[in-house]
Chain A
Amino acid sequence: MQIVLKNVLLINPAQNLNSKSSLLIEDGIIKKNGELDDSEIKNSEVIDCEGKIAAPGLFDMHVHLREPGREDEETVQTGSNAAAAGGFTGIACMPNTSPDIDSAETVRFIIEKAKNHMVDVYPVGAATLGRKGEALAPINELVEAGIVAVSDDGVAIKNASILRSVLEYCGMFDLPVIEHCEDPTLANGAMNEGLNSTLLGLNGIPTIAEDLIVMRDIMMSEFTGSRVHIAHISSAKSVEMVREAKKKGIKVTAEVAPHHFTFTDDQIKSYDTNYKMNPPLRTKNDLDEIIKGLKDGTIDCIASDHAPHSIEEKEMEFIYAPNGILGLETQLGIALSELVHKKVLSIEQLIEKLSINPRKILNLPIPKFEVGEAANLTIIDPDFVWTVDHSQFKSKSKNSPYDKRLLTGKSIAVINNKKMYINGKFSNI
């Protein structure tokens, strides 16, 4: 089957590419890039891309798919569908499933579940057995089975000596260690600690709980020479430390979740549990530093921390409700609305943070707009105005604070693995 993307603005920072063209895609391969003949157009499904952008397929490196274990909240299938709906052609899924992704068997199980889908799913393995921070997971076996990183996400690697071993061991494979930076002895709370937690009568999680572990991990990265990736950075101080570490040449990278550049802990005044996540929403001061870090490149990428929870679990008293919100289907719209339209980032910079950089961090190839290459791309309408409606989500869960929010910018179609997602449907191409 032939697809034509007519008059599309091709943007790929990895190729220094920003130009208008038309693409002919046949059997999932880019066949032509440039002026197309009438005959080529006549025999194709033509997508008019006037005013739209084609970017290398977007990638979300922090997703919780809940399978195996909580298939009532999300599965590899439904999470992949949500990714496609949100404009993503690749995701990395976190290991805090049940069982944890700490055996080659579980890695293979997920890869098997994900095959034949338009979206590429790359498992992240547990760094330690059961994510308990006590003994190394069989990392070499996990690498052979197909993981792209390790993490004890949900918690930081508890024991500094084990962290050292994990980093040294992963260094052999140039495998990044993704850290959920939080000192658990300081983090017995339900929201950010500060004036708002005092006013709302909720125990707080102070930013120092994050900062201490970020500092430890940066120093350990420097000491071992191995790579640390800071997940969902939320504190101003942590951003500053990552910035300084990068200046020194330490191999640290960082991601931020959309809610941490969109909301502050003022949102908790409603006690709406869809604003409860970990790390928690912080203050305006933290948000401003995150924006600065996005601008100056301290923060490499944007990742959703997509965390599905059932309605019964989320609709609970605030202190009992689980942490986490959905992100896959709103992330691009939020990022375009909050960052590009507000002139924090250029569209090229956003594509770097949503496609190029996460792939670089995970040592994955970057899709290119070149004849002969497989088509792995996202078509974005940056000016499309829409209202988030969680009843329309492809995700199995509904826990989104963005419901009913007006956004500007959306993905229109996604192509990868000889498949296309457009108008809510998948088709083989």
Chain B
Amino acid sequence: MPLSSRHLLGLNGVPREDIELILDTAITFREVLDRPIKKVPTLQGKTIVNLFYENSTRTRISFELAQKRLSADTVNFSTSTSSTKKGETFKDTVRNIEAMKLDMIVVRHESAGVPLYLTKISNANIINAGDGLHEHPTQALLDMYSIKERLGKIEGLKVCIVGDVAHSRVALSNIFGLKTMGAQVSVCGPATMMPLGIEKLGVKVYHDINKAIAENDVLNILRIQLERNAGSTIPSTREYHNYYGVTAERISNYNKEIVILHPGPINRGVEITSEVADGPYQVILDQVTNGVAIRMAVLYLLGTMH
């Protein structure tokens, strides 16, 4: 069974069978990553461009590595300046790149909607590597993979996303994906970090981190962006840490195992302490490895569709 779409723009509306297919396929590729020779010829002859309009290190490297492991030819187009400032429109840039004959585009852009727009002006398969505050589907897929790897299932689990949900594409993709897979999803953070209408998505809202720890099986802890949040949505990172930081003491109060995810990069001492980030319940580095496997799975499934 192939995927139901030739693009991966987000997880909103993606059927459960598709998510399961990607997660199952990733298991095979995860095994490849443990072999001495970590390369398969699956996408030989395919050309993929990584179109990154926003600074990114780990997501771009993860995609690039996934592409190389699948033997695809890859090129990177990275720019931190927007097309407006550069003088060439985004459309012209894309048309130029496409004229070089390519099969897939992995795109990250600070404007939501750019991946959808790409499907209208390009014939390539489009993979969203993060668009504005909208979606980051491969991150949510690797999060789900990591949860399943640790706990054996997703269905019925209680997963809480902690942090600046209003400004997080990771949160939104996780909400869509996890709910489709049958998890109970909640969010935790100060009211200033909760987007309007979030409860209409069937998501419980906590303003008390202790309660969130007590009632959930998994915490997915978002990075607090110092430049964006301090002073406007939270008084300071110190106050955030005091009231919402995930610490070993807080977890120990409940005498339970709780799986800790973090999409990185970590602000140690702000949203999470080192004790937790390096502790027994975290799967943070597994997420990074699994990210390559998930991206291999997505690239493979889309790249071999006819």
Contacts and interface: CB of A to CB of B under 8 A. Distances in A.
Contact of A315 (B91, B112, B134, B198): B91
Interface string B79-104: 00011100001110000000000000
Contact of B112 (A193, A201, A312): A201
Contacts of A199: 12, 172, 197, 201
Nearest to B195: A198
B197 A194 contact: yes
Interface centre among A195, A199, A203 (most CB of B within 10 A): A199
Contacts of A201: 112-113, 131-135, 169, 172
Interface string B170-206: 0010000000000000000000000111101100000
Given A317-B82, A317-B117, A202 B133 contact: yes
Contacts of B111: 317-320
Given A193-B196, A199-B12, A316 B131 contact: no
Interface string B41-84: 00000000000000000000000000000000000000000111
Contacts of B82: 317, 320
A204 interface: yes
B196 A197 contact: yes
B135 to A, nearest CB: 7
Nearest to B168: A201
A384 interface: no
B114 interface: yes
Contacts of B84: 316, 320
Contacts of B286: none
A84 B91 CA distance: 34
Interface string A357-388: 00000000000000000000000000000000
A173 interface: no
A271 B116 contact: yes
B198 A198 contact: yes
Nearest to B134: A201
Contacts of A17: none
Nearest to A319: B111
Contacts of A195: 196-197, 200-201
A198 B131 CA distance: 13
Contacts of B198: 198
Nearest to B116: A271
Nearest to B91: A315
B89 A316 contact: yes
Contacts of B12: 199
B89 A315 contact: yes
A160 interface: no
A198 B195 CA distance: 6
B109 interface: yes
A197 B201 CA distance: 13
Interface in A246-270: 270
A202 B134 contact: yes
A35 to B, nearest CB: 59
A1 interface: no
A166 B82 CA distance: 39
Interface in A14-48: none
A200 interface: yes
Given A201-B131, A201-B132, A316-B90, A194 B110 contact: no
A312 to B, nearest CB: 6
A329 B109 CA distance: 35
Nearest to B10: A201
A315 B121 CA distance: 11
Contacts of A318: 111-114, 117
Given A201-B112, A319-B110, A312 B133 contact: no
A194 B132 contact: no
Contact of B90 (A196, A206, A317): A317
Interface in B148-169: 166, 169
B52 to A, nearest CB: 14
A319 B111 CA distance: 6
B89 A319 contact: no
Interface in A313-367: 315-320
Interface in A193-219: 193-204, 206
Contacts of B83: 316-317, 320
Given A317-B90, A320-B82, A198 B112 contact: no
A103 B169 CA distance: 47
B196 A271 contact: no
B205 to A, nearest CB: 13
A317 B196 contact: no
Nearest to A321: B111
Interface of B: 12, 82-84, 89-91, 109-114, 116-117, 131-135, 166, 169, 172, 195-198, 200-201
Given A201-B113, A317-B83, 6 more contacts: A195-B197, A195-B201, A200-B113, A201-B172, A318-B111, A319-B112
18 contacts: A195-B196, A198-B166, A198-B195, A198-B196, A198-B201, A199-B201, A200-B113, A201-B112, A202-B134, A203-B133, A204-B196, A271-B116, A316-B89, A316-B90, A317-B109, A319-B132, A320-B82, A320-B83
